[in-house]
Structure 1
Amino acid sequence: MDNIPVVKLGIVAVSRDCFPMSLSANRRGAVVAEYVKKGLDIYECPTVVENELHMGKALDEINKAGCNALVVFLGNFGPETSETLLAKEFKGPVMFAAAAEEAGDKLLDDRGDAYCGMLNASYNLNLRNIKAYIPEYPVGTAQEVANMIEEFVPIAKSVIGLNNLKIISFGPRPQDFLACNAPIKQLYNLGVEIEENSELDLYAAFNDHKDDPRIPEVVKNMEAELGAGNKMPGILPKLAQYELTLLDWIKQHKGSRQFVTFANKCWPSFQTQFGFVPCYVNSRLTAMGIPVSCEVDIYGALSEYIGTVVSNDAVTLLDINNTVPADMYNEQIKDKYNYTHKDTFMGFHCGNTASSKLSFCEMKNQKIMARALEPNQEPNITRGTLEGDIIPGKITFFRLQSTADTKLAAYIAEGEVLPVATRSFGSIGVFAIPEMGRFYRHVLIEKNFPHHGAVAFGHFGRILFEVFKYLGVEDLGFNQPKSMLYKSENPFV
């Protein structure tokens, strides 16, 4: 995927002047050796930082090496001033970790006291208002620190991505979609740029692509992707025209930013003016690593982008949509899976999920829109959805949101898509999340989250949690186990 960052990682060892500098240098070398064993690449800065002059030299070396993420490694107690100034001056995400003592017979001349030094480092970072990633337990052996660094990479990727991201939106939200409100102040706080456009801008650009000579090639690509699911081939030229419109808009409007995502209007006037629904094109761009959220959901697009970076894979955006009927639960779930009825629900959207994430797919028309726009006739302007059941397997449901009073909030819940036929329409699946009923009431409803949630295909809760912490999210909900009551949960039930 070209629309996500590549991390160039560097490591700098720091040393307190009353400890042997060689101790830090040797321990740094051991960490690098363990990291390289994983088949991963890291720049080992030769300068050990003991004072501010060393800090300037090391900063110059890591910048010349092209590093965009940094590990500050306390091989011993560490110099609290220069090590935190290094984090301040480096223009990218920074992780702090410290060395554990190696052996009982080395506690005289080779004791490093980095366990103590991490306390001072964290205190100084706070004094200087410097953001840094500190692992859950940041002190370890060379192998353990190498593992910490590996876990830091997707966190660093997310931060770099947001600092270089532009969200492009088209059109105001549809009527009665206040739930997807998007105060943009927090976007700027996160380092994200936003370009808001009218639907008319998009319509004009679409018309400019009429008879684009590239359309037949895109149609051919769509036909190959759809295969036997190409049930409405007549709509493909318009969809190809629209796809080219969006891809060209990126080239012309990316500006100073490296990465782009879309939050686009998709109904109700879209169908009558453009002559199709854009869901399939949205799914194709998302598969390219360019998430396109529905209904001008700006924070939905932001969430999808974070999920794309963390998972290095296509994601989707779904409505937390409807309950699983009792007969379906009793017949297909109850005695086969360890989930209560309230743990299950159906995630749905019109047809925006990448074909690689569907068990089967067909080109269809949008059933709900057809009721209003094309009742009792052959579908025409409501064609363009990619429909099918979402592939079974592990998922992470999550969202980052700005509240109406411009405070960041987020939730994360791990679960799975069950191999249960949905018997419905759209891009849809039967989801199961432990304690979903309580989570639905005391996080999603209580915290006023909208109905859209981003879905990453795999369990990424641990990394997402650290990403959201790094971004400064204080209100971070998750599906708490039975033994842990929510603040608003009645203990007498």
Structure 2
Amino acid sequence: MDQNYPEVKLGLIAVSRDCFVRSLSENRRKALVEACVKRGISVYEAKTTVENEKDVLKAVDEVKNSGCNALIVFLGNFGPETPETLIARFFSGPVMYAAAAEDTGKDLTNGRGDAYCGMLNCSYNLGLRKLKAVIPEYPVGTPDDIALMAADFVPVARALLGLASLKIISFGPRPQDFFACNAPIKGLYDIGVEIEENSELDLLVAYRAHKDDARIPTVVKSMADELGAGNRYPDILPRLAQFELTLLDWAEEHRGSRSYVSFANKCWPAFPTEFGFEPCYVNSRLTARGIPVSCEVDIYGSLSEYIGACISHDAVTLLDINNTVPRDLYEGAIKGKYPYGLNDVFMGFHCGNTPRCKLRNEDNTALKFQLIQNRLLEKGGEPDVTRGTLEGDIAAGDITFYRLHANADGALQAYIAQGEVLPPATNSFGGIGVFAIPDMGRFFRHVLIEKRFPHHGAVAFGRYGKALFTVFDYLGVPEIHYNQPKGLLYPRENPFA
């Protein structure tokens, strides 16, 4: 399968108000390009400087013909408010607006650009025209400042471009009693994402059609090489390889007009008995390739994972916000060693869908069986059809826990919380880790519970809250929640508690 996310080709258009010195904007544009090059940011410099509406058409054609799919509109001086905002209308990809700070106090006559003021009129006119744009937190700066803004913009643009051409493919209705995975489809259409819903039977028929596929031995070898000493059930790898090929072929055959895909698949209770394995390890492998496969038909979980994969350019995972950390484990392995209270830590868990590259390199990281399903389907006996999970403790390091979701009323909402996975061993099963998020207890109560978020959360491995917030804001998500620090009360938090 081709790369499952877009490559960003960044363009730069400078604008100039006709009563200002045009060369000021052009010279500042040149300096900005040089600053981007120094930071390793590739950017196409449009030679057309926009002063009027005809310039808009010429400049947009120039960047489109060069292959640009994301754009920086640079106010090198005050800027022409109508033409500069029309750029966002005629350019089909994401656009960021930024403005030049003044260069020197030694030349504030002909050398003054007033772009600080121009950004106000720019924003006002974008609003009048109901045009979307990315505006950095402080969008005025030196060439080096704006080069940093450009670096922040690239992963945001990658996610927005990916979503604009994403199809989520689902198999099976959600399992019974999993109303948390309810997925009002209208919210997907609102942000430009397509959805294809299928039956588990469709998937089973496709899987059986891949029996004795000539590619199976190659995939089996890839799995064995990845698992190494953790390959505890080599006899089940051909079944898993057959399933992996089934999903990849389905993606190719069903992407339709879309360039990118993700999956939201049913995995219990009938799946293991009918397919003969648990799909978790296959899910992990595709997710590691940038093709998220969420568990339990969690369509918005799959969407969230895909956004995180685009932003981080890395593997992601989907976990249950699962269980508390026992007090004895906290006091023995966490208290006094890390700056977290007992209510700041919890365990994130799923059966075995976290990519191998995000698990610790320890003896207990291996291909295993789903303990809970084994109790139900195989009465706790020797596992067969419940094999196929990838289990182990999640590697320590920075994380961002987040989710974009449509609530029971169909309205989009989101949360973002940065934290880390701690090193202490979990001494448990599944793909699991000890997560620490500052003020998690209050966040759990006043965001996750109060706003009725489901128990699934996406995890990106690093600190990506800034980019995620920008993406959610651009998409028009009305509520974007975060873990507020002590002293900043949530709207309905009891001040007397």
TM range (shorter): over 0.9
> Which residue number in structure 1 is paired with residue 129 of structure 2?
128
Residue type matched to 1:410 in 2? Answer: A
State the Cα deviation string for residues 46-100 of structure 1 (Å, max 9, x = none): 0000001111110110110011001110111111111111111100000000111
State the Cα deviation string for residues 410-440 of structure 1 (Å, max 9, x = none): 0000111110111100000011111000000
SS in 2 for 1:105: coil
Distance in structure 1 (CA, Å) of the matches to 2:316 and 2:389: 17
User: What is the 5 A alignment of 1:470-481?
Assistant: 470-481=474-485
Distance in structure 2 (CA, Å) of the matches to 1:353 and 1:406: 29
> Which residue number in structure 2 is paired with residue 292 of structure 1?
293
> Which residue number in structure 2 is paired with residue 21 of structure 1?
22
Distance in structure 2 (CA, Å) of the matches to 1:402 and 1:42: 36
Residue type matched to 1:405 in 2? Answer: D
SS in 2 for 1:476: strand
Distance in structure 2 (CA, Å) of the matches to 1:277 and 1:383: 6
Residue type matched to 2:476 in 1? Answer: G
User: What is the 5 A alignment of 1:172-191?
Assistant: 172-191=173-192
Residue type matched to 2:419 in 1? Answer: G
Residue type matched to 2:354 in 1? Answer: T
Is residue 251 from structure 1 mapped to residue 255 from structure 2 by the alignment?
no
C-alpha displacement at 1:191, in angstroms?
A: 1.0
C-alpha displacement at 1:255, in angstroms?
A: 1.1
Distance in structure 2 (CA, Å) of the matches to 1:336 and 1:86: 53
SS in 1 for 2:3: coil
Which of structure 1's runs of 4+ aligned residues deviate more than 2 A?
none
SS in 1 for 2:177: coil
User: What is the 5 A alignment of 1:270-289?
Assistant: 270-289=271-290
> Which residue number in structure 2 is paired with residue 378 of structure 1?
382
C-alpha displacement at 1:197, in angstroms?
A: 0.6
Distance in structure 1 (CA, Å) of the matches to 2:142 and 2:5: 31
SS in 1 for 2:408: coil
C-alpha displacement at 1:338, in angstroms?
A: 1.1
> Which residue number in structure 1 is paired with residue 344 of structure 2?
343
Distance in structure 1 (CA, Å) of the matches to 2:232 and 2:116: 64
Distance in structure 2 (CA, Å) of the matches to 1:426 and 1:459: 24
> Which residue number in structure 1 is paired with residue 110 of structure 2?
109
Is residue 4 from structure 1 mapped to residue 5 from structure 2 by the alignment?
yes
Residue type matched to 2:387 in 1? Answer: R
C-alpha displacement at 1:377, in angstroms?
A: 1.9
Residue type matched to 2:398 in 1? Answer: K
SS in 2 for 1:50: coil
Residue type matched to 1:491 in 2? Answer: P
Is residue 437 from structure 1 mapped to residue 432 from structure 2 by the alignment?
no
User: What is the 5 A alignment of 1:24-423?
Assistant: 24-359=25-360, 360=362, 361-423=365-427
C-alpha displacement at 1:142, in angstroms?
A: 1.0
Paired residues, what number? 493
Distance in structure 2 (CA, Å) of the matches to 1:351 and 1:93: 36
Residue type matched to 2:8 in 1? Answer: V
C-alpha displacement at 1:376, in angstroms?
A: 3.8
Q: TM-score, normalised by structure 2?
A: 0.98
Distance in structure 1 (CA, Å) of the matches to 2:72 and 2:225: 45
Distance in structure 1 (CA, Å) of the matches to 2:214 and 2:146: 53
Distance in structure 2 (CA, Å) of the matches to 1:6 and 1:312: 10
Distance in structure 2 (CA, Å) of the matches to 1:173 and 1:409: 20
SS in 1 for 2:309: helix
Residue type matched to 1:492 in 2? Answer: F
C-alpha displacement at 1:21, in angstroms?
A: 1.1
Distance in structure 1 (CA, Å) of the matches to 2:110 and 2:232: 75
Residue type matched to 2:470 in 1? Answer: E
SS in 1 for 2:106: helix
Distance 1:376 1:159, change over 3 A: closer
C-alpha displacement at 1:333, in angstroms?
A: 0.7
Distance in structure 1 (CA, Å) of the matches to 2:231 and 2:78: 64
